[in-house]
Amino acid sequence: MKKKIVIANDHGAIEIKNRIIQHLEKRGFEIINLGVDQDQSADYPDKAVEACNYFLNNNCEFGILCCGTGIGISIAANKVKGIRCALLSNSYTAEMAKNHNNANFIAFGGRIEYKDSVEDMLDKFIDTEFGGERHQRRIDKMMSI
């Protein structure tokens, strides 16, 4: 059975969402696409909550959220109990999001020019293991706030 990843986006991130889906499908993941595929306006908080609720109620590896900058949609996701969404900016932040924070969501901006390719950041996040131990203590503190 393929591992599932849920993804959602607003109108500011259609192209990046499609790149992400294509890359993840090549890696063998099943993609649950809750995002928009046309330029019609969509509110990123609604897309974040929809994807987070899907993640929490289904067996997904992790989730991905995309809006124009990735900022608003990641803030909205982090309001949902049980979600740790990291806004990635390069491969190092992708690695640390998994190794230190065991993020269950990552976010990208469709209007952002990244130094590292989105595909490289995805691969780094997916291929990194959670560091456990002292990091879990810190995650527990974050999640209790």
Cα 50 to chain centroid distance, Å, stands at 13
pLDDT digits (tens, 9 = 90+) for 2-24: 999 999 999 999 999 999 999 99
**Tell me, what's the pLDDT at 139?**
97
pLDDT interval class at 1 (50, 70, 90): confident
pLDDT digits (tens, 9 = 90+) for 58-88: 999 999 999 999 999 999 999 999 999 999 9
Architecture (CATH level 2) of domain 4-144: 3-Layer(aba) Sandwich (3.40)
Cβ–Cβ < 8 Å for 85, 103: yes
User: Any idea of the CA torsion for 132, 83, 73, 1, to the nearest 10 degrees?
Assistant: 80
If phi > 0 it is left, if psi is from -120 to 50 it is alpha, else beta; for residue 81 that is: beta
So which residues are the catalytic ones?
100
Which secondary-structure segment (H or E) carries 30? strand 30-33
Domain boundaries, the chain: 4-144
